Structure 1
Amino acid sequence: MFDHMVWDKITISCDGWTNRNGRPQMNMLHISRHGELAHRHVDGSNETKSAVWIAEHIMKDIEERGPPNVLQFVADNASVNPTRFATNVIMLDKAWTLSSSLRRMVISDRWISWANDPQRPPQTRTDAREAKETILDERFWDKVHDIVMMMEKIFVLLR
């Protein structure tokens, strides 16, 4: 095994997922100033994933190490993933709202001067050209509008 003295003052990290059969799985990692250890894998094939199930396994690791030796634990917060998705839709909605301003911006003399400045790295000039093409493309804005309208209906449904 390993020397418990070396593995004092650890962070316990757990990362969970659901396998293709819909059963919970979880990896328990221990991290110290000396490195990382994949401590154990939890197969929850005969379990129901719940906060209690996760907490039981975290508590087991804390007890194994001794509470004074555990500084913190870090868990995968999959529950925040829908928020990250919603953020993308909110950003598209804001882009839709600002579409006229964005169009005016990319055809302005100031933009053209900035985007074509030979002092800029070639990749920046390429990105600026592609951004301008996208912003001036009506099909792009049609798709943005369709996505925003569709997601608005889904958000209302989920509330």
Structure 2
Amino acid sequence: MLSIAETRFGSALVKMRRFKEVKEGLQQMVISPNWSLYKEDDVGKARAVKEKILDEYFWDEIDYVFSFTASIYEMIRMADIDKPFLHLIYE
């Protein structure tokens, strides 16, 4: 059974960072001739996804968010361990 999990600010940053890392793969996916096989389920959503992924303004917005959240992202990554980490944040 699936349940909805509360999304945190940090997880949104991690997701956007990964989204940026796979940008080229996503773009290749939506311009591929095989994209028509995926979009048969919901044509409207597929069109919206394709437009968003191919929209350079969207990627510029992601870059803008990273420009002022880079230090926050690095702190989240350093603190993502199962042992004491306060001294890492202080450094």
TM range (shorter): 0.5 to 0.7
- When normalised by structure 2's length, the TM-score is 0.68
Q: Which has the higher strand share?
A: 1
The amino acid of 1:102's aligned partner reads: L
1:85 aligns with 9
Q: What's the Cα RMSD here?
A: 2.2
Please say which structure displays the higher CA radius of gyration: 1
* Residues 26-65 of structure 1 aligned to structure 2 (within 5 Å): none
Q: Identity percentage over the alignment?
A: 29
Aligned pair partner of 2:45 in 116, 127, 134: 127
Q: Which of 61, 66, 74 is equivalent to 1:143?
A: 61
User: Structure 2 vs 1, CA of residues 157 and 102 (structure 1 numbering), >3 Å: closer, same or farther?
Assistant: closer
Residue by residue over 1:93-133, the C-alpha shift from the partner in whole angstroms, topping out at 9 and shown as x without a partner, is 00000001000000001112331x3xx3xxx2101100000
How many pairs does the alignment contain? 72
Q: Structure 1 length normalisation: TM-score?
A: 0.40
More helix by share: 2
* Change beyond 3 A, Cα 1:89–1:155: closer
Residue 103 of structure 1: aligned partner: 27
Structure 1: gaps of 5 or more residues: 1-80
Unaligned runs of 5+ residues in structure 2 are: 1-5, 77-88
Distance in 1 separating the partners of 2:67 and 2:46: 28
Cα distance in structure 1, aligned partners of 2:35 and 2:43? 11
